Structure 1
Amino acid sequence: MKKIFVLVLVTFLISFRSVDSFAQQKGDPLFQAPLGIAAYTFRNEFPKGVEQTLDIIQKLGFKEYEGGTAGLSPEEFKKLCAERGISIPSTGTGFEQLEENPQAVADRVKALGAKYVMCAWIPHNGDFTKENADRAIKAFNEGGKVLKENGIIFKYHVHGYEFQPYGDGTLLDYIIENTNPEYVSLQMDVMWTHFGGGDPVALLKKYGNRWVSLHLKDFRKGAPKDMTGLTGPENDVPLGTGELDIPGILRESNRIGIKHMFIEDESDQELENLPKSIAYLKSLKY
């Protein structure tokens, strides 16, 4: 009887699969989030017409949008997106707006119906310094608290200049370690992280569920990198054609439970490149 019980138990344990392992069966798609787009991708199109740009976004198959309202009221922009089956889980804010009036930021985010708001740039001149980081830590903790009280999750969008060495790590480590996880989450822009000298997969593993979303883009092979957080549009290439380990990034993102991934194409050939990036993402399997 004991041997039978052990055999049954072993069989059960072998057949049992965790949620993570269900997401990693051979042939399952690596890209498991709704197809998302970052608004900056269409910086050249929105001035030609908001509705026609949203039509392009819809035709490309995007279901989630992150960004501003292209000059419209939040209510009108939200309506136009909803008519096209596009949700707005996340929007953005400038650093000074967050620092000076986080409640006004919260009011705008709520009018748009978004759950997240991200800040993509910390003011600095030349090299990013500890003083810049300390200013950000204060603004993020205080602003993030106000946002949480309004039902909104604040996230800092890593931009590459934060990889200046500090202590046993970098100023990015310093910011993450000194911001309250209750008030400050993170968005990884995988290209800017790589551009600044960071390892996207290692950082996803290191900080786990602090990461709540990604910006997906790729970097031209062999192009120079630094910690400015700035590079030319010619260095933004379709996903899968550059230096980034996109499959590895997606595997780790799935493992830690990231639910929102936004393609951001900063090239000047976004309408040509986006279908290539989408096809690449859809081709990736476990």
Structure 2
Amino acid sequence: MSQSRRQFLNTAAVAAGAAVLTDSAWAENQAALFPVSCNQYSWITFYAREGRDWAADQDVSLTEFASTGIKAYEPAFNHAEEVTKLLPLLKKHQLVMPSVYVNTSLHQADEASKSLESVLAIADALKPAGTKIIVTNPNPIKWGSGENKSDIELAEQAKNLDKLGAELKKRGMSLAYHTHDVELRAAAREFHHMLLATNPSNVSLCLDVHWVYRGSGNSQVALFDIVKLYGKRIIELHLRQSKAGIWQETFGEGDIDYPRLAQMLNDLNVKPHLVLEQCLEKTSPKTMNGVEAHKIDMVYVKKVFGV
């Protein structure tokens, strides 16, 4: 599914009107709001199952999104122009955007330079939205392959990740490192090096709970060990649940003990931004649509995290 995610993010350009955002009060108020958010990718998977395209008409899509009661949206951006097009629709639907997801390629110097330029342009375009967290999952050598990065490439990637985080910090934003399952291969050396070789003041962690669980062989032991090791760096959680290893339609009880995770973070006095990403895969149940599912998601999030 990580391949599908990347393909979706690379092709799902934000299609909306390019009106200029003029309501300064709406924009200024966003910086203080960190309600439970939802990533666009979960909606992409629900729409795809119905033969629909999430990006085809963003006004219609965000109308359905807002009907769930979710107040915050985490989209993915490839270009700064996409930000400008989305802002008027967020205003229209009274959605805030505390965090966004961006694509980067950081393990080769020439590609990294282009990625940093692109992300910083996106960050500058986000200023009217009051966005505070930029999440990135650096590209692997090739999506879907078993090839791991060399030590030299890992060192280059960590250097560029730290540099990007430092530049975003100057803009009042935090960089959150995200992983899929790829980074957990080979003794999780890529995952650990990105955190051990970067400055915590520059690079925080977006813990994608289920990808860490799945990437470590469906292991809660590994998941909770990572929380023990890096819990203080967790600034955001991506929330997904499975049963018998299969992603479910709704966020609820299942393979991962989320109440335990919530308690661990509370004990660390860590209050991450919560982002729903309850996606579908081929073997997921098929009993409801995206609006119905996300309404149920919100009930369990509030129960577990007390928000």
Q: Which residue of 2 aligns with 1:89?
A: 98
State whether residues 218 and 243 of structure 1, in contact with CA within 8 Å, keep that contact through their aligned partners in structure 2: yes
* Higher gyration radius (CA): 1
Partners of 1:252 and 1:80 in 2: CA distance: 37
State whether residues 78 and 88 of structure 1, in contact with CA within 8 Å, keep that contact through their aligned partners in structure 2: no
State whether residues 200 and 249 of structure 1, in contact with CA within 8 Å, keep that contact through their aligned partners in structure 2: no
Partners of 1:49 and 1:103 in 2: CA distance: 29
State which of 271, 276, 285 in structure 2 corresponds to 1:263: 276
Q: Which residue of 2 aligns with 1:243?
A: 255
Q: Which residue of 1 aligns with 2:174?
A: 153
Q: Which residue of 1 aligns with 2:40?
A: 39
SS of residue paired to 1:213: strand
Q: Which residue of 1 aligns with 2:159?
A: 138
Q: Which residue of 2 aligns with 1:212?
A: 235
State whether residues 77 and 83 of structure 2, in contact with CA within 8 Å, keep that contact through their aligned partners in structure 1: yes
State the one-letter code of the partner of 1:279.
V
State which of 96, 116, 119 in structure 2 corresponds to 1:105: 119
State which of 43, 46, 61 in structure 2 corresponds to 1:53: 61
- After superposition, the C-alpha distances for 1:190-224 in whole angstroms (9 at most, x for unaligned) are 11010011633332232132110010001231x3x
Matched, 1:179 2:198: yes
Percent identity among equivalent residues? 22
Alignment CA distance shift 1:273-1:241 (3 Å)? farther
Partners of 2:119 and 2:77 in 1: CA distance: 14
Report deviation, 1:108. Answer: 1.5
Partners of 1:252 and 1:57 in 2: CA distance: 30
SS of residue paired to 2:206: strand
State the one-letter code of the partner of 2:60.
Q
Report deviation, 1:48. Answer: 4.0
Matched, 1:67 2:75: yes
Partners of 1:205 and 1:34 in 2: CA distance: 25
Report deviation, 1:188. Answer: 0.5
Partners of 2:202 and 2:38 in 1: CA distance: 25
State which of 101, 120, 124 in structure 1 corresponds to 2:137: 120
Question: How many residues get paired?
Answer: 241
Name stretches of at least 5 consecutive residues in structure 1 with no aligned partner: 1-32, 224-233
SS of residue paired to 1:151: coil
Partners of 1:260 and 1:135 in 2: CA distance: 28
Name stretches of at least 5 consecutive residues in structure 2 with no aligned partner: 1-33, 48-52
Alignment CA distance shift 1:205-1:85 (3 Å)? farther
The worse-fitting range, judged by mean Cα deviation, of 189-198 and 268-277 is 268-277
State whether residues 140 and 149 of structure 2, in contact with CA within 8 Å, keep that contact through their aligned partners in structure 1: no
The worse-fitting range, judged by mean Cα deviation, of 191-200 and 251-260 is 251-260
Alignment CA distance shift 1:261-1:285 (3 Å)? closer
SS of residue paired to 1:78: helix
Partners of 1:237 and 1:243 in 2: CA distance: 14
The worse-fitting range, judged by mean Cα deviation, of 126-135 and 199-208 is 126-135
State the one-letter code of the partner of 1:211.
I
Report deviation, 1:94. Answer: 1.4
State the TM-score, normalizing by the size of structure 2: 0.69
Partners of 1:74 and 1:258 in 2: CA distance: 27
State whether residues 109 and 115 of structure 1, in contact with CA within 8 Å, keep that contact through their aligned partners in structure 2: no
Partners of 1:181 and 1:99 in 2: CA distance: 20
State the TM-score, normalizing by the size of structure 1: 0.73
| Greater relative contact order structure (CA < 8 Å, 6+ sep) | 1
Q: Alpha carbon RMSD of aligned pairs, Å?
A: 2.8
